[in-house]
Chains A and B, each alone.
Chain A
Amino acid sequence: MKAADAPTAARRLAVADVGRAGVLRGYGVWLTAAVVLIVLPWVVRTGAAVPIMNQMGIAIVFALSFNMLLGQGGMLSFGHAVYFGLGGFLAAHALNLAGRGTLYLPVPLLPLVGGLGGLAFAALFGTFSTSRAGTVFSMVSLAVAELMAASSLIFDRFFGGEEGITTNRAKAPLLLGLEFTRDRQVYYLIAFWVLLAAIAMYAFSRTPIGRMANAVRDNPERAEFVGYSQRWVRYISFCAAGFFAGIAGGLFALNYEILTAENMGLNASGVVLLMTFIGGIGSFVGPILGAIVFTFLQSMLSDYTGIWLLYLGILFLATVLFVPIGMAGVLMLHAPAWRARRVGRLAGPYLVAGVCGLVAAVGVIGLLEMLHALVAADTPSGVRRLFWTAVSLRSVLPWLVFTGLAAAGALGLRWAGPRAAAAFADANRAGAGR
């Protein structure tokens, strides 16, 4: 209580200084992000890098918009892809109109069309979706997703049936002579929109309505008693999230030049939940991290295995069970130890735990892959290459080896896990003591 009696003027000055430094640091972060986005295609030069980065960019905007609902507003949507998809379809149709010359629309503005489309549908469906929070909100979002999935079979002209809607960005009018025929040109357009949308979404979280979205998430009743209608707060957040999801959809239309009903289906909505949660819903960078890692894993894994979604599902479940704060949350937990320069002490225990985890993962993956190879029956030879070795599915030995690895890794984790946690606690205590 003594601290409270200290001269308040000095303290206020200190707070103001921190505030100014925070603002500077804020601009610095965005500038750094811009620089990184600009040099990235020149640094990463493998063949598939640019298309994957484009995919990541779209996922980042989509995941950030999803977290406006889940992380900031406490609304778990199972149908967020509806606004992504509808925005995308509208953008695709608009691009087709522009190609025919019916509409003047330069390609760089296309994501805005998607955004406005997403906003319009969010404003419509939000009227009944946001009247309740919690479980009912989730179920209504699911119902809307099903409604749109069923409607896509009926409204053939708009959704293009099985084939979807194709479009061509090369036919649209040019703005400032900018062409978008090569991957890298598209990359810079997407990167521009990703940065713009991310800044806008961050700014939104710092507005009065953005702060009150947090308040309604925490305690809707109390928000009512400080003058805010919880329903309106949810509705506005919902519309904003729909807008940015639509922008992501517009970027998708621009990048892939095709949209199908699948893009707004339940699976697409599920994927955005997975990536956002794995990244961490508690902070602004969480969804960005999640989108990058998830997209990377998805494109890597799907090259090697047919059961990649199972692995991502298991990763998701493990996150929910053991680290519900997500990757970003875990990183942030280490900030004090990092500032105290004691992260080095963690390397040993973390390495041991990591190796144990890796051994367990190899065991489980081996078992699942062998099972998959057997069931899918696409291996008449009875031999499957796993971890750079030819594994015979018919013999007992590989099953035993993989089971052994899984068990050994799990046992090792039980031993190493608590030690790593203790090391973490120790590093933090030391950090606090400084």
Chain B
Amino acid sequence: MTPAIELSGVFKAFGNTSIIRGVNLTIEPGTRQALIGPNGAGKSTLFNLITGKYPVSSGRIRLKGQDVTGLRPSEINRRGLSRSFQVTNIFPRMSVFENIRCGVLWSLGYRYSFRHRVDAAHDATERTEKVLEQLNLAARRHVPAGVLSYAEQRALEIGITIAGGADVILLDEPTAGMSHSETEHVVQLIREVTQGKTLLMVEHDMSVVFDLADRIAVLVYGEVIAHDTPERIRADPRVQEAYLGVPQGVA
């Protein structure tokens, strides 16, 4: 089967500082995977490389078999990859409804059209309504997104990401800064909206990671040191060392 995402020999340096140092990673389609690693390991940078926000220094990135290295974020998105952001990244002055609809329009083929009326675009409206229901934000549809509560904005962030129906979803710390019960909600939401899709998420909350992920990749100092099932990652001595800083034998 063609991998959903395939990184081969990806390097990224800012000036003289290498952040990503030769990452090879294959994400099988239809799986939920997590990318973990200590602070500064380069997880967000790797996301920014995959989604085209930064150009790679060298290496290739393939999305569903297609080479997407060097494409702009919008072009990568159109090929079926969508992402969320660690810092909430929404359209603050537009309503909640419109935020979601922005995520819907391209995928329904409206593109840059000035011949359609959005109010008459029933497919877009229906899709948007459905996502709003999923997010539990239907009652807030007319509120400007900028005045939503933090948890609501995080939910909206995920909503914009999945609205276009992309089959490869990248979530960057979806539960960051959330309370325990809010986290549970979000995990449930993620499970629901990524049904049958490929998910790659950066996450610090290990209970979320082990709850959701089929496989886990561990990034340390810009290199993937392990990529395996949760059980084996738990037992992997290299992972223990990376997180605890002590070789297994000594401890």
B180-205 CB contacts (< 8 Å) to partner A: none
Contact between B114 and A236 (Cβ–Cβ < 8 Å)? yes
8 intermolecular pairs with C-beta atoms under 8 Å apart: A1-B136, A4-B139, A19-B119, A208-B116, A215-B94, A225-B51, A226-B105, A232-B112
Q: Say which residue of B77, B114, B129 sits within 8 Å of A240 (CB atoms).
A: B114
Does A209 have its Cβ within 8 Å of any Cβ on chain B? yes
**Tally of chain A residues near chain B (CB < 8 A):** 37
Q: Say which residue of A210, A222, A224 sits within 8 Å of B72 (CB atoms).
A: A224
Does A221 have its Cβ within 8 Å of any Cβ on chain B? yes
A22 to B142, CA, bound (A): 15
A12 to B160, CA, bound (A): 21
B2-50 CB contacts (< 8 Å) to partner A: none
A5-43 CB contacts (< 8 Å) to partner B: 8, 11-12, 19, 22-23
Contact between B91 and A218 (Cβ–Cβ < 8 Å)? yes
Instruction: Give the shortest distance, in Å, between A1 (CB) and chain B (any CB).
Output: 8
Q: Say which residue of A224, A232, A240 sits within 8 Å of B73 (CB atoms).
A: A224
Residues of B within 8 A of A204 (CB): 114
Contact between B103 and A226 (Cβ–Cβ < 8 Å)? yes
Contact between B74 and A228 (Cβ–Cβ < 8 Å)? yes
Does B207 have its Cβ within 8 Å of any Cβ on chain A? no
A12 to B128, CA, bound (A): 12
Q: Say which residue of A206, A215, A226, A236 sits within 8 Å of B112 (CB atoms).
A: A236
Contact between A208 and B105 (Cβ–Cβ < 8 Å)? yes
Smallest Cβ-Cβ distance to A1: which chain B residue: B136
Instruction: Give the shortest distance, in Å, between B104 (CB) and chain A (any CB).
Output: 8
A355 to B74, CA, bound (A): 55
Contact between B164 and A227 (Cβ–Cβ < 8 Å)? yes
Given contact pairs A211-B105, A226-B82, A219 touches B89 in the complex (Cβ within 8 A): yes
Smallest Cβ-Cβ distance to A232: which chain B residue: B112
Does A375 have its Cβ within 8 Å of any Cβ on chain B? no
**Closest A-B pairs by Cβ, 10 of them:** A227-B106, A208-B110, A218-B91, A224-B73, A227-B77, A207-B114, A229-B74, A215-B102, A224-B74, A226-B103
Smallest Cβ-Cβ distance to A204: which chain B residue: B114
Does B107 have its Cβ within 8 Å of any Cβ on chain A? yes
Smallest Cβ-Cβ distance to A222: which chain B residue: B89
Contact between B116 and A207 (Cβ–Cβ < 8 Å)? yes
